[in-house]
Amino acid sequence: MTSLSHIILEPLVRKALEEDLGRAGDITSDSVISAEARAKVVMAARQEGIVAGLDAAELAFKLIDSGLAIKRLKAEGVEVKAGDEVMEVEGRARSILSAERVALNFVGRMSGIATLTNKMVKAVGNHKARVCSTRKTTPGLRAVEKYAVRVGGGMNHRLGLDDAILIKDNHIAIAGGVAIALRRAKESAGHMVKIEIEVDNLSQLKEVLEEGVDVVMLDNMSLEDMAAAVKMAAGRAIVEASGGVTLERISQIAATGVDMISTGALTHSAPNFDVGLDFKAAA
């Protein structure tokens, strides 16, 4: 089971709270609600999907007021339907309201990514292909978004520029060809680093397979070419499909026999997951 260390998460939640509190804090709650007022609220899903980001939400509440009592009503990563309650928060009313938006913004974004990923994974069905995200993430939130993809059942591709080699068309063009690019990469890469190369057509794939490589990325190929590529690779390299991946088309792509399907949409275009905070009682 995947996880996201609060060493990584806490500075991001803190920054989000600072951004929202600004230079004078929650002037609405400070003026309208008495310091002693207490409340009990629940965070509830307003749509179906996979819930993610509960640690972030809890941190938002706890960083504002360590005296808030939090109860998890759903576990991270489970499937929920509209109306399901996922977390209960009880304590000083001002504190709850001051942290509310940041908590919901994290859960909304992270659950949105997990939910879209999960739909993709389900659409792949029994095919062996696994779904993975790319580096097309929101600036500053890569660790959080990569984690949300994993919660949704997806895999991570590279985390950044430094943990694996991915030779793309521009690299090949500037290096002067597939063969020379691959040779340089192999010479330089450490033994813990995988090498992937992007190919646009089957003849490029043939050249690549002859040189040898860990992973090939089929860039924007037709379904027919993908199927042919899988056959040509014949297990000599992991085959990754990329480009034009939609919920509608992903099952067809998976049916070609590719090992991996990668798409930036998981992180850059996942719609927000609708979630809100419902007032239960003046506690």
Those residues whose C-beta lies under 8 Å from the C-beta of residue 212, and which sit 6 or more positions away, are: 182, 236, 237
Within 198-227, the residues that bind a second copy by CB under 8 A are 215
Q: Which is nearer to a second copy, 33 or 255 (CB)?
A: 33
- Tell me if 13 contacts a second copy by CB under 8 A: yes
Using the contact rule CB under 8 A, the part of the chain among 102-110, 118-126, 227-235, 242-250 near a second copy is 102-110
- Tell me if 139 contacts a second copy by CB under 8 A: yes
Identify whether 219 is a catalytic site residue: yes
Interatomic CA distance for residues 227 and 244, integer angstroms: 16
Site string for a second copy, 41-70 (x = CB under 8 A): x---------------------xx------
**Running DSSP on this structure, what letter comes out for residue 201?**
S
Beta bridge partners of 89: 41, 70
Using the contact rule CB under 8 A, the part of the chain among 186-194, 203-211, 218-226, 244-252 near a second copy is 186-194
Q: Which is nearer to a second copy, 2 or 222 (CB)?
A: 2
Q: Which is nearer to a second copy, 102 or 123 (CB)?
A: 102
- Tell me if 238 contacts a second copy by CB under 8 A: yes
Instruction: Please identify which of the residues 14, 38, 101, 186 carries the catalytic annotation.
Output: 101
Sheet holding 275-281, edge to edge: 69-72, 85-92, 38-45, 275-281
- Tell me if 82 contacts a second copy by CB under 8 A: no
Identify whether 198 is a catalytic site residue: yes
Contact 54, 87 (CB under 8 A): yes
Instruction: State the virtual CA torsion across 185, 187, 192, 197 in degrees, nearest 10.
Output: 20
Instruction: Please identify which of the residues 219, 236, 274, 280 carries the catalytic annotation.
Output: 219
- Tell me if 167 contacts a second copy by CB under 8 A: yes
Closest by Cα among 235, 255, 253 to 243: 253
Of 75, 161, 203, 235, which one interacts with a second copy (CB under 8 A)? 161
Contact 41, 279 (CB under 8 A): yes
The radius of gyration of the chain from alpha carbons, rounded to an integer in Å, stands at 23
Using the contact rule CB under 8 A, the part of the chain among 80-88, 114-122, 192-200, 226-234 near a second copy is 192-200
Contact 216, 226 (CB under 8 A): no
Instruction: Count residues binding a second copy (CB under 8 A).
Output: 106
Could you give the residue numbers annotated as active site? Answer: 101, 136, 168, 198, 219
